[in-house]
Amino acid sequence: MADPGAADRLAPAGRPDEIRAIPVRRPGRWVAAALILLLAASLIHSVATNKQLEWHVVGQFLFDHRILSGVFMTLELTVSAMAMGVILGVVLAVMRLSPNPLVSGTSWLYIWFFRATPVLVQLLFWYNIAAIYPSISLGIPFVGVEFVHGSANTVVTTYVAALLGLGLNEGAYMAEIVRAGIISVGEGQTDAALSLGLSRLQIMRTIVLPQAMRVIIPPTGNETISMLKTSSLASVITLTELLLASENIYAVNFKPIQLLIVASIWYAAMTSVLYVGQYYLERYYARGATRELALTPLQRIRSGLFSLERHEWS
Amino acid sequence: MVMTWPMVKAEGVHKRFGRLEVLKGITLELQAGEVMCLLGPSGSGKSTFLRCINHLEKINAGRLSVDGELVGYRQVGEKLHELREGEVARKRAEIGMVFQHFNLFGHMTALENVTCAPIRVKKEPRERARARASELLGRVGLADKLEAYPAQLSGGQQQRVAIARALAMEPKLMLFDEPTSALDPELVGDVLEAMRQLARAGMTMLVVTHEMGFAREAADTVVFMDEGVVVEAGRPADVLASPRQERTRAFLSKVL
């Protein structure tokens, strides 16, 4: 016969008491916190009370129209160079994975060349392109058909030189990022899409790339943030972006530190905006990959507020 | 009398991966409207053969045809011409395939998975594709999961979405590559039920499986493969109950 008490033993009567244990003491944390606070306080004190820093000069130039137009130039250059980099990167990555050895070899060579030379050298190269190619034309080679023709100095302006230097270089780095993303999508996805009769191009566009985005976006955000700051190299070839705008001012008023602080504040502000953009972009491409999306900080605050309100009413 | 014709016809099909010969001359015929189960130990070439039928793999020798047309080639006189990618894709669209690991498109909902190919390949109007897709998903018992992403579904549910996705192209032949091998035991039943329904509706099916119960009751023919050759083929009652070959007997004694 079965043990009549067995069921009772498996399901204990009543709910056991909640655990209320005394937490482990962590004196190390308090010591570390005190040290960090002390260091921070002394740093803030020295920065705030240092008369040489002349914070009012920073304030005076923070929204100066020359600085603002430098900010816009930096943004414009960053966005266009990144756009060029992303488009080139996708094309190069798809070429690199092509079964045709000539196509994949060309892509390999391009990536090697641009990663093997410093971007500052490339910028200077494009800036001086007129020295080796005084005139530039767009047409069909060897048959004498030309669509566009001009002297190199009018076609390759300072801005175009900066765009080519940064964008072509970025393409090589983006190609590696996109390639890693494409490889990360399992072969089963391609098999399934092929078996449904989709073409190679359709599969790349609608099945593989959208899923590769999850892997591509974080490093691309990183590249964009990096580009924002690398664009300051264009100051060397006399493009008046944020850094050169600041330099031009301190060349006259001899306040380099204050103007470099102004530039840094703007770079940091723009970078912070990119952080937010990257967060939402990553979230968008995470759909389907996780069972449930985490709440955004805004949603969390809002739901927190609502739950507080409900609490008060009840 | 019902007219019947061979939907799949294989004659001496060989397939090599590098120096490894996976298929060493497969000859078999699947009649339209019939269900054939491919049995055999893993590594015997069953899945490879299935992938050859819709040209996911190229065969190295022999002849393989679906519905009277060669797979992947066109014969002009004595010579074989490779088909263009577009032509291969058009033929693949007429053959449904269900994979061991489902291979649902992770960034699309169940409904989008099913409407994807009809909209993009058949250029079906969006609304009609959606209506047919929800009807198909309803038929496999997923009417309430239309907007779910694959990651939110159980394995059994994902596999049923995969079946609906293949059926949405209105295929004349369905290939199943171990459709229940990756499922938890209690989820296998729903998938097999969906397949039985399909078999009853008269779909021509080629199923690689280890589900002997399914093979016994749903198959018209079972084929036992080992080491790249067909060892034995016949009606399930004969092959499963009284196998003539020693290798078949040895395999069945392990799985039954």
DSSP calls for chain A: ---TTHHHHHS-SSPPPPP-PPPPP-HHHHHHHHHHHHHHHHHHHHHHH-GGG-HHHHHHHHT-HHHHHHHHHHHHHHHHHHHHHHHHHHHHHHHHT-S-HHHHHHHHHHHHHHHHS-HHHHHHHHHTGGGT-SEEEEEETTTTEEEEEEEHHHHS-HHHHHHHHHHHHHHHHHHHHHHHHHHHS-HHHHHHHHHTT--HHHIIIIIIHHHHHHHHHHHHHHHHHHHHHHGGGGGGGT--SHHHHHHHHHHHH--HHHHHHHHHHHHHHHHHHHHHHHHHHHHHHTBTTBSSPPPPHHHHHHHHHHHHHHHHH-
CB of B130 within 8 A of CB of B118?
A: no
For testing contact with chain B, the best of A196, A216, A282 (most B CBs within 10 A): A196
Those residues of chain A whose CB sits closer than 8 Å to some CB in chain B are: 186, 188-189, 191-200, 202, 206-207, 210-211, 285, 287-291
Minimal Cβ distance to A199: which of B89, B96, B101: B89
Residue A314 above 50 pLDDT?
no
Interface size A-B, in CB pairs within 8 Å, comes to 79
Residue A304 above 70 pLDDT?
no
Residue in the block written with tokens 């019939």:
B34
For testing contact with chain B, the best of A185, A191, A195, A287 (most B CBs within 10 A): A195
Q: Least CA distance to A213: which residue of chain B? A: B107
Q: Do A291 and B86 touch (CB under 8 A)?
A: no
CB of B15 within 8 A of CB of B52?
A: yes
Q: Please give the Cα distance from A172 to A107 (Å, whole number).
A: 9
Q: Hey, where are the domains in chain A?
A: 57-136+148-285
A3 confidence band (pLDDT: 50, 70, 90): low
Minimal Cβ distance to B86: which of A199, A206, A289: A199
Q: Please give the Cα distance from A269 to A265 (Å, whole number).
A: 6
Q: Do the strands B221-226 and B229-234 form a parallel or antiparallel pair, or are they unpaired?
A: antiparallel
pLDDT of residue A312: 47
B103 touches chain A (CB under 8 A): yes
pLDDT of residue A142: 76
Q: Least CA distance to B54: which residue of chain A? A: A195
Q: Do the strands A145-151 and B6-17 form a parallel or antiparallel pair, or are they unpaired?
A: unpaired
Residue A95 above 80 pLDDT?
yes
CATH 3.20.20.100 matches A57-136+148-285: no
CA distance B141 to chain A (A): 21
Q: Which residues of B153-191 are buried (b: 16+ CB within 10 A; e: fewer)?
A: bebbbbbbbbbbbbbbbebebbbbbbbbeebeeebbebb
Q: Least CA distance to B168: which residue of chain A? A: A196
Q: Do B56 and A198 touch (CB under 8 A)?
A: no
Crossing angle of the two packed helices A119-127 and A158-184, in degrees rounded to 10: 140
Give B106's contacts in chain A (Cβ within 8 Å).
189, 211, 288-289
Q: Do the strands B69-70 and B73-76 form a parallel or antiparallel pair, or are they unpaired?
A: unpaired
A1 confidence band (pLDDT: 50, 70, 90): very low
pLDDT of residue A7: 54
Q: Please give the Cα distance from B119 to A198 (Å, whole number).
A: 10
B173 touches chain A (CB under 8 A): no
Which residues in chain B come in under a pLDDT of 50?
A: 1
CB of B129 within 8 A of CB of B152?
A: no
B54 touches chain A (CB under 8 A): yes
Q: What is the pLDDT of residues A241-253, one digit of tens each?
A: 999 999 999 999 9
pLDDT of residue A305: 62
Strands, E, within chain B: which ranges?
6-17, 20-31, 35-39, 61-66, 69-70, 73-76, 79-82, 95-98, 173-177, 205-208, 221-226, 229-234
A281 confidence band (pLDDT: 50, 70, 90): confident
A8 confidence band (pLDDT: 50, 70, 90): low
Minimal Cβ distance to A197: which of B150, B151, B169: B169
A179 confidence band (pLDDT: 50, 70, 90): very high
Give B108's contacts in chain A (Cβ within 8 Å).
288
Q: Do B107 and A289 touch (CB under 8 A)?
A: yes
B93 touches chain A (CB under 8 A): yes
Looking at per-residue pLDDT, the higher value among A313 and B247 belongs to B247
Q: Do A211 and B54 touch (CB under 8 A)?
A: no
Q: B25 Cβ partners below 8 Å, 6+ apart?
A: B12, B13, B14, B62, B228, B229
Q: A195 Cβ partners below 8 Å, 6+ apart?
A: B54, B56, B92, B95, B96, B97, B166, B175
Q: Least CA distance to A195: which residue of chain B? A: B92
pLDDT of residue B1: 47
Q: Please give the Cα distance from B200 to B218 (Å, whole number).
A: 8
Q: Do B99 and A186 touch (CB under 8 A)?
A: no
Q: Do B151 and A202 touch (CB under 8 A)?
A: no
Q: Please give the Cα distance from B171 to B111 (Å, whole number).
A: 18
Q: Do A198 and B150 touch (CB under 8 A)?
A: no
Q: Do B103 and A189 touch (CB under 8 A)?
A: yes
The mean pLDDT of chain A is: 88
Q: What is the pLDDT of residues B16-39, one digit of tens each?
A: 999 999 999 999 999 999 999 999
Q: Within its chain, how far is the Cα of A207 from the centroid?
A: 24
CA distance B256 to chain A (A): 30
Give B123's contacts in chain A (Cβ within 8 Å).
none
Looking at per-residue pLDDT, the higher value among A40 and A135 belongs to A40
Residue in the block written with tokens 């605050």:
A301
Q: Do A211 and B107 touch (CB under 8 A)?
A: yes
pLDDT of residue B2: 60
Q: Do B149 and A210 touch (CB under 8 A)?
A: no
Q: Please give the Cα distance from B49 to B15 (Å, whole number).
A: 8
Give B90's contacts in chain A (Cβ within 8 Å).
197
Residue A157 above 90 pLDDT?
no
> Among candidates A192, A215, A189, A275, which has minimal Cα distance to A93?
A215
> Among candidates B14, B22, B207, which has minimal Cα distance to B98?
B207
